[in-house]
Amino acid sequence: MKRILLLHTGGTISMSTDQRTGAVKPTEEHPLHQYSHLFEENIEISEEDIFHLPSPHVTLHNMLDMQKRLIKAIDEEHFDGAVITHGTDTLEETAYFLDLTLDSPFPIVLTGAMRPTDELGSDGVSNLQNAIWTALSMDSKDKGILVVMNEEIHTARYVTKTHTTNIATFRTPTFGPIGIVSKHKVRFFQKLVFDETYPVKSISKNVCLLKAFAGMDSTLFDALASTNIDGLVIEALGAGNLPPATLPGIKRLLNNNVEIVITSRAFSGIAQDIYAYKGGGKHLKELGAIFAPGLTGIKARIKLQVILEQDNADDLIKQCFD
């Protein structure tokens, strides 16, 4: 008999609709508990409500709690896979945090729902089934943390939420999903070229995220320079460019030993140091900014946070992004 660890953390997948007001809100008991009979009899599912939070309430410390529970499962218990149900707003951040900080011998899959369990067309139970089948598949091993939604399998590194309400919201721009779940069958057709793991035992650094816009100046950068910020990720324009008026603030942060990582605000493509004009990618790299090709701003923030928590962060910081 195979064993699955099922960790519930909250989110829409754990919510119901108030029939009087139409508001979607958490319920006293996780509604998915009543669907355990849907899975094969030769599967033992160990369920735990690790916490019960809407995903906008989830912090890096909550992510660390999930990581520690999974480390305990890896070290002390005999599981064949693990599934985490999670709200979709920050699911991709939790998935990537776990991807960077765990080296698991069994598959770990995150899933959620865009519609509560009592709403017509709810996707929660279907997503949970597909996530469990993916976690049970031998082919899911050594592929890092996976995200399963709407019958697609994505890597934690590249998946992102692309629509506010549509059930087909999770996509992997540029690269696409690495597999699908069809009629209980898990099929992979891509694999990550490399993986990376960094041990993290605490969260102590302060890393922020800004999005560039036309006419942006140094106001926000100057405000951050007056705080105890340790790192900053900028979703820059195009392939990784910024308006020239931002440069005084950026230089001030770099002089304060704040690590600055550049990504692109564009939906697809990668950030690169292409342009040599003032504020262009090559100029920013010459000043000391680091480029994160392929990562979204929120993923780059998670990675910068994890790297800065390492004892040898100064040595790692450039090579781990390049």
Active site (catalytic) residues: 12
Give a three-class secondary structure readout of the chain: CEEEEEEECCCHHHEEECCCCCCEEECCCCHHHHHHHHCCCCEEEEEEECCCCCHHHCCHHHHHHHHHHHHHHHHHCCCCEEEEECCCCCHHHHHHHHHHHCCCCCCEEEECCCCCCCCCCCCHHHHHHHHHHHHHCHHHCCCCCEEEECCEEEECCCCEECCCCCCCCEECCCCCCCEEEECCEEEECCCCCCCCCCCCCCCCCCEEEEECCCCCCCHHHHHHHCCCCCEEEEEEECCCECCHHHHHHHHHHHHCCCEEEEEECCCCCCCCCCCCCCCCHHHHHHHCCEECCCCCHHHHHHHHHHHHCCCCHHHHHHHHHC
Task: Provide the token pair at 127.
Answer: 């997503």
Which residue's entry shows tokens 């995150």? 110
Q: What is each CA distance from 13 to 79, 91, 116, in whole angstroms?
A: 23, 12, 6
Cβ atoms 267, 294 nearer than 8 A: no
Nearest to 10 by CA among 92, 91, 72: 91
